[in-house]
Amino acid sequence: MLIDTNIDDFKLRFAEEKDVPLILEFIRELANYEKMLNEVVATEEILKESLFERKMAEVIIGEYKNKPVAFALFFHNFSTFLGRPGIYLEDLYVKPEVRGRGIGKTMLSFLAKLCVERKCGRLEWWCLDWNESAIEFYKQMGAIPMDEWTVYRLCDEALDRLAMEFGK
């Protein structure tokens, strides 16, 4: 089902299983833009399982003149302080040739609307420190950087080692 937006010829839709190759293509384009392509290990099989079998996240696709030009991948998190869920935006990507048309803002606006409809308390995401144009864009919409928080990550061998500690 296509969702109309306030931009002529731009519509949104929730991704379907048949979109897995497209989603992976968007992920790779975003990773390339962020100079992190070598970190992408996702495959179509992994995405199919995670997104459509286990339903761990959702994806919206933005289509301009019936051509996919943007995507956003998001999932629910939870704020214990608010006692309510939130939406965490993992990735938002707009193809370079259609940037500057309001597509990114429209996609964020849709996610904010989804937040309100789902009674979520927050819409959150991370942004790379060097991406000054994105930071300025987010601030113009009223987003506030959470500078006092530091992100920590366990992965690969460190994750495995800690998991092995359970039950010893």
Catalytic residues: 138
In this structure, the number of other CB atoms found within 10 A of the CB of residue 154 comes to 11
Cα torsion angle, 159, 161, 165, 168, sign: positive
CA separation for the pair 14, 51 (Å, rounded): 12
Residues across the chain: 168
Residue 112 near residue 121 (C-beta atoms within 8 A) = no
Q: Which residue from 38, 43, 42, 106 is spatially nearest to 69, judged by alpha carbons?
A: 106
